[in-house]
Chain A
Amino acid sequence: MSSLRNVLENGRLVVVTGSGGVGKTTMSAALGAYAASQYNRRVLVLTVDPARRLADALGLESFGNAVVEIESSALARNGVPPAGRMFAAMIDTKASWDELITRCAPTADVRDKVLSNKLYRNLTERFVNSHDYIAMERLFEAQQSNDYDLVIVDTPPSRNALDVLDAPRRMKEFFASRLLKLLTSQAQSRLFSLAAKPFFLVADRILGARFLSDITEFFTLFRTMEDGFVKRANEVEAVLKQQDTSFMVVTTLESAPLHEAEFLIDALRERGFSLNTVIANRVTPQEFVSQAQAALNKLEASIQDPSFVQAVVKATEVVEPTAGQISRVVSTIARKSAEAVRKGDAELTTLDTLRERSAGSQAELCICAISGAEIARATALVALGESVHPA
C-alpha cells in the first residue's frame, strides 16, 4: 500500500503545506473527500478561506468557524455511498481567538477586558502572526475532540509556511520571556529594574505614554492567561510530533514553488516533523506525452498529404471546414503538442530531482496529473484524491 493511502486510512492528523497557488486547499479537500469515500472514517478538513466553488462542490452554502458535515449523497459515486463521513470548517481567526480567550481567561472579568481591549481587537482582526497561532490551535482542538478519526489541515498563507508550525514555540517564548515580566511589572510598579528605564524613556517619546500604557495593560492582561496558553502550546507541539501525525508538501513543477518545496522538505526534517508525502501537482500525464511523441512523426508527415486532409474535411463536415482550415488546425495540433511533449520531458527531469529530495527525507513522491476541468462537484474531489498516485 502506498504511504499516502496508509496515512489516509490509518493516520490521525495530516498537515498540508506548500507555497501559495499550488492547489493546496483543493488538494486537502480532495484527499479528505477520497478518504471519507473510501474508508470508514470521520474525516475533517480544516481550511483557510476556500473559493466559492469549492464550498459549492462540497454542497455548502455557508462555510465558517463551525464544523459542517458534507451530505453523504454528495460523496456517493455511481450510486455507492461513501464508506465514511466528511466534515469541513474554515478557520475564522477572529472567532477562534475569541473562543480561545474565553477558554483561557482565569476570570470573566479578564475575559471581558481582553475581548474589549483595543489592541486585542486589532491584533486578532488585522495582524498576521495571529493567524499562525490560531491555525495550530484549531488543529489541536479538532484532533483532541474524538469527533474525527482523521483531521486534514490546509495551512494558511503565511510569510513562511514554517511560521505556522513555529507558532506554539513562539507563544511559549513570549510568555517565558523575562522581558514580558519586566514590561508588565511597569504597569504594577514604577520601582522596577533600572535596565528598562532607557527603554521607557525612548518608548515614551516615540509612542507616547498613553499607547505605552495600553501596550503594558494588554500584556498584563495576557500574562494572566499564561498557564492556559503555555499548557496548550506544549500540547499542540506534542501533537505535531506524534507518530500518527504526517506532513505533506504540495508543489507544482515551476521554479518558484519548487524552490519553496525543497526548502520546506529540509526544514520539516530539521524540526523533527514526519514528512510523509510530497505531492507534485498539475503534472502533465506521462502516458499522454509518450503516446503523443509516438504519433507526432506520423502526424507531421500526414499534413502534406492531400488525401489525409480530405479525409479529415469529410470527418468534420458538420462545421464545413475548408482544406486550408484543416491544414492550419492540424499543423497547430502538431506544433503545440510537440511543445507539450517537450514540456512533459522537462517535467520528468524535474520529477527525478524531486524524487531524490523526497527520498532523502523518507517521503514518498506522489503525482497528481493536471486536469483542465475545475472542481464543480464533490465527486470530482473524490476522483481527484483517488488520482494521486506514487511517482
Chain B
Amino acid sequence: MDDKGALARSLATTELQFAAREVAPNLFAMSMNTEDSLREYIRLFVKNPLVSTFGPLAKILDFVANAAPGVKEILAVGKLCWEVREHNYDIVIVDAEATGHIVAQVDAPAILSGLVQVGVIREQTKWMQEILHDRATTGVVIVATPEEMPVLETMQLLDTLQNTTNVGVSAVVANRVHDDVVQGGDIAVFDALWQAVQSNAMPSDIGDALRAPMQLLNVATERRKNEVGNLEQLVARSRECGVMFMSVMDIDAHDHDVVTRMTQVLKDELQ
C-alpha cells in the first residue's frame, strides 16, 4: 500500500506496478496506486472506458480522489476487497500503511456507508464490509518490534480495532526479538560474573579477558530484560489472537535472504 520499493526488494524482483505480476510460482505482487484503482473502478462499474481517459473529466476525478475525505482509502480497500470477491487469488496479503492509517483504511467502507445514502457506492460498501467483517475471510496481523513504543502502539491499535471497527485481529507478530544471552540458571551466574569483573574480585588477567566481551554483551542483556517486560505485556493483551515470535536477523542479511529465513520460521510456528 505504501510502496517505496521494499516489497520488490524483499521478493527479489523489479519495480512493482498496479497490474499484478507473477513474481514466483503462484505468488503475485502489485503495488497500490489509487489513481489506477479509480480508473479500474470506472472501467468496471461505469462501463465506459472513455470516461476515465477523457481529459478534463479524468482531472476532476483525480481531484476528488485526492481531496474528498475517504476517497483514497475506499479506492485502496475497495480494490483489495474486489480481488477477494472475484476469487482472483486464494489469499490476498496486504502490506498495509503505518499504524496510524490502518484503522481509517479498514473502516473506510463502514464510514462511507454512513455518509452515502444512495448510489452504486452505497451498495458496494455493503459487500466490502461483509468481506472485511467476516473473521473467516479477513484478519489484521499486527507486527511490532519488542520495544516499549511499538508495543504500546500495538496494544492501542488492538483496542481501537476492537472498539471502533468490526474487523478481527488474526495474530500479533513480535518481530526482531533478541535471544537471551544466557538462559535459566546461567543468568544468575552471568550476573555474578559481571559483578566480579566490575569489583575486580578475580585475578586481573582473567578479569581483563572477560571485561570487554561482557561489556559488549551487557547492552544486549539489558535490552533483552526490557524486551521481556514489553513482550509480557503484549502477550497478556493479545491472548485472543496469540503472539508469534520472529527472531532478529543479521544486519547484513539482504532483504530477500531475510524473507526466505522468515518464511521458514513462520512455517515452523504455524505447524
Contact = CB atoms under 8 A, between A and B. Distances in A.
Nearest to A200: B60
A260 B217 CA distance: 29
Given A126-B103, A128-B100, A332 B206 contact: no
Nearest to B175: A21
A199 B177 CA distance: 52
B117 A312 contact: no
A199 B224 CA distance: 58
Given A206-B45, A295-B208, A372-B219, A126 B107 contact: yes
B contact patch SS: helix
Contact of B73 (A51, A127, A260): A127
A209 B116 CA distance: 9
B119 A207 contact: yes
Contacts of A205: 46, 119-120
Interface string A211-254: 10011000100000000000000000000000000000000011
Interface in B110-133: 111, 115-122
A284 B219 contact: yes
Nearest to B56: A195
Interface in B194-238: 195-196, 201-203, 205-206, 208-226
A157 B202 contact: no
Nearest to A204: B119
B199 to A, nearest CB: 9
Interface in A359-377: 370-374
A122 to B, nearest CB: 5
A214 B112 CA distance: 12
B5 interface: yes
Interface in A326-344: 326, 328-330, 332-334, 336-337, 340-341, 343-344
A271 interface: no
A263 interface: yes
B267 interface: no
Contacts of B225: 372
B212 A127 contact: no
Interface stretch (B84-92, B181-189, B239-247): B181-189
Interface stretch (A33-41, A73-81, A108-116, A313-321): A313-321
Contacts of A51: 148-149, 152-153
A128 B218 contact: no
B24 interface: no
Interface stretch (B15-23, B64-72, B134-142): B64-72
B250 interface: yes
B223 A372 contact: yes
Contact of A211 (B116, B202, B216): B116
B161 interface: no
Contact of A202 (B42, B72, B181): B42
B104 A126 contact: yes
Contacts of B120: 205-207
Given A214-B115, A312-B202, A255 B255 contact: yes
Contacts of A333: 181, 190, 193, 210, 213-214, 217
B213 A337 contact: yes
Given A51-B152, A328-B186, A210 B117 contact: yes
Contacts of A256: 6, 255
A315 B213 contact: no
Interface in B125-171: 145, 147-150, 152-153
Nearest to A170: B66
B38 to A, nearest CB: 11
A291 B212 contact: yes
B111 A122 contact: yes
B150 A21 contact: yes
A77 to B, nearest CB: 21
A319 B145 contact: no
A123 B69 CA distance: 5
A52 interface: yes
A164 to B, nearest CB: 12
Given A127-B104, A299-B213, A372 B116 contact: no
Contacts of B63: 177, 179-180, 183
A192 interface: no
B98 to A, nearest CB: 4
Interface in A54-86: 54
Contacts of B83: none
Given A51-B153, A206-B46, A288-B216, 11 more contacts: A126-B104, A127-B69, A127-B73, A179-B59, A208-B116, A214-B115, A259-B5, A288-B212, A316-B195, A318-B192, A350-B251
11 contacts: A25-B149, A52-B152, A131-B100, A179-B59, A196-B57, A208-B117, A291-B211, A299-B210, A308-B206, A336-B220, A372-B221
Interface of A: 20-21, 25-26, 49-54, 118-119, 122-123, 126-129, 131, 156-160, 170, 174, 177, 179-180, 182-183, 195-196, 198-199, 202-211, 214-215, 219, 253-256, 259-260, 263, 284-285, 288-289, 291-292, 294-296, 298-299, 302, 308, 311-312, 314-316, 318-319, 321, 325-326, 328-330, 332-334, 336-337, 340-341, 343-344, 346-347, 350, 370-374
8 closest A-B pairs by beta carbon, nearest first, are: A372-B222, A208-B119, A337-B213, A291-B212, A208-B118, A315-B202, A123-B69, A315-B196
